[in-house]
Amino acid sequence: MTGPNATSRGAFFTRLKAGLAKTRELLFMNVEAIARGIGPVDEKVLTDLEEALILSDAGAELAAEYAETLRAVWRRGELPDVDALRARLRKMVAETLATRMVPLVVVPPYPFVVLVVGVNGAGKTTTIGKMAGWLRLSGHTVLLAAADTFRAAAIEQLGVWAERAGADIVKHKEGADSSAVAFDAVRAAKARGTHVVLVDTAGRLHTKSHLMEEVRKVVRVVGKEIPGAPHEVLLVLDATNGRNAIAQARTFQEFTGVTGMALTKLDGTAKGGVVLSVTREIGAPIRFVGVGEKPEDLRPFDAESFAEALF
């Protein structure tokens, strides 16, 4: 899967911009000087910028770090105006995240198994639905594993997405063992020659060790059936989450060995600045951003657009 193609980047950007225009109306803080990008740089502008970073959930420490670096550059006389300052900050952020711009590529041997994990309400099932849509459009056969056997009607929800995308689904009854569902799904995919298996797991708070053990078991069981699987452990992070995303990433990394991340709900006013901290915590790339509920609203992560949208 090469994911959504590059020409759609423009549309994605417009979408982010539209969200941001509304943000500005709503915004609590006065970051106008930065937003307008005019006038000379002074201490006030640097403070505003630090605030804007904090408001993006980048964290006070990291915001101060960025502000300090920019202050030094400014003192050297390299930042004539706010526009230059903003451009510099974007560049810094984009460069930091550039190494995390690695799209998910689906390659044989099939089945390629993707395990999707995250806390409750992060958007796992919706992300899977959108992924299934994309994969089908790019000619792959897809099987969804309804391994969220806990939440009421989670299986039905995934079933609707399977139907929409034209994907197969393997499901058990509510309350069944999620590893068993994943195992059956992988077996079925092997037998049918399906390209991709997307395993939907129940949302779980990373602090619940028994639930984390449960998902660890899913990883193990899938790996036993197909050496090297799951080929991707995709952690879904909600962009509206604040600093807690760091702990989520750390713990899911520890239990499941995260190999990629999806940042959802970026179509609101939350900026997802916490990924700047998350990427310091774990090495996995950011595969996707979610900017809506339609299949085309799952986009490959683009560091520059992301940095642009931050300020």
Partner 1 sequence: MFENLSEKFQGVLKGLRGHGRITEGNIEGALNEVRLALLEADVNYKVVKEFVAAVKEKALGAEVLLSLSPDQQFVKIVHAEMTRMMGAQAQELNLARRPPVPVMLVGLQGSGKTTTCGKLALHLRKGKRTPFLVPADVYRPAAVEQLKVLAGQIEVPVFDTRPGADPVAICRDAIAQADRSGYDSVLLDTAGRLHIDAQMMEELARIKAAVDPGDILLVADAMTGQDAVNVARAFHEKLGLTGVVLTKMDGDARGGAALSIRAVTGAPVMFVGVGEKLDALETFHPDRMASRILGMGDLLTFVEKAQEQVDEKQARELSRKLRRNEFTLEDFRDQLLRLRKMGSMEEILGMIPGLGGKMKELKGMAPDEAELKRVVAIIDSMTAKERRNAKLLNGSRRKRIAGGSGTTVQDVNRLMKNFQQAEEMIRRMSKGGMRGMGRNFPFPQ
C-alpha to C-alpha distance for 289 and 310, rounded to whole angstroms: 14
With respect to partner 1, which residue has the nearer C-beta, 155 or 258? Answer: 155
**How many alpha carbons lie under 13 Å from residue 264 in its C-beta half-sphere?**
24
- For tokens 């609707």, the residue is 160
- For tokens 């990629």, the residue is 260
Closest by alpha carbon to 305, among 12, 4, 23? 12
Among 150, 180, 190, 216, binds partner 1 (CB under 8 A): 150
DSSP 8-class letter at 111: P
Tell me the per-residue interface mask from 109 to 148 with partner 1, x by CB under 8 A, - otherwise: ----------xxxxx--x--x-------------------
Q: How far apart are the first and last CA of the chain?
A: 31
Interaction residues for partner 1, span 161-180 (CB under 8 A): 161, 174
56 binds partner 1 (CB under 8 A): yes
C-alpha to C-alpha distance for 37 and 15, rounded to whole angstroms: 21
- Nearest distance in Å: CB 156, partner 1: 4
**In three state form, how does the secondary structure of 130-188 look?**
HHHHHHHHCCCCEEEEEECCCCCCHHHHHHHHHHHHCCEEECCCCCCCHHHHHHHHHHH
Cα R_g (the chain), whole angstroms: 21
Sequence-separated (6 or more) residues with CB below 8 Å from residue 51: 29, 31, 63
Among 100, 136, 171, 206, binds partner 1 (CB under 8 A): 206
Q: Which stretch binds partner 1 (CB under 8 A): 17-25, 86-94, 253-261, 299-307?
A: 17-25
- Nearest distance in Å: CB 301, partner 1: 19
With respect to partner 1, which residue has the nearer C-beta, 143 or 236? Answer: 236
Among 3, 59, 111, 260, binds partner 1 (CB under 8 A): 59
With respect to partner 1, which residue has the nearer C-beta, 11 or 18? Answer: 18
- Whether 228 and 211 have beta carbons less than 8 Å apart is answered as no
DSSP 8-class letter at 23: H
14 binds partner 1 (CB under 8 A): no
Tell me the per-residue interface mask from 208 to 247 with partner 1, x by CB under 8 A, - otherwise: x-----------------------------x-xxxxxx-x
- Nearest distance in Å: CB 235, partner 1: 14
Among 44, 69, 160, 213, binds partner 1 (CB under 8 A): 160
For binding to partner 1 (CB under 8 A), which residues are involved?
19, 22-23, 26-29, 51, 54-57, 59-61, 119-123, 126, 129, 150-154, 156-157, 159-161, 174, 205-208, 238, 240-245, 247, 265, 267-271, 274
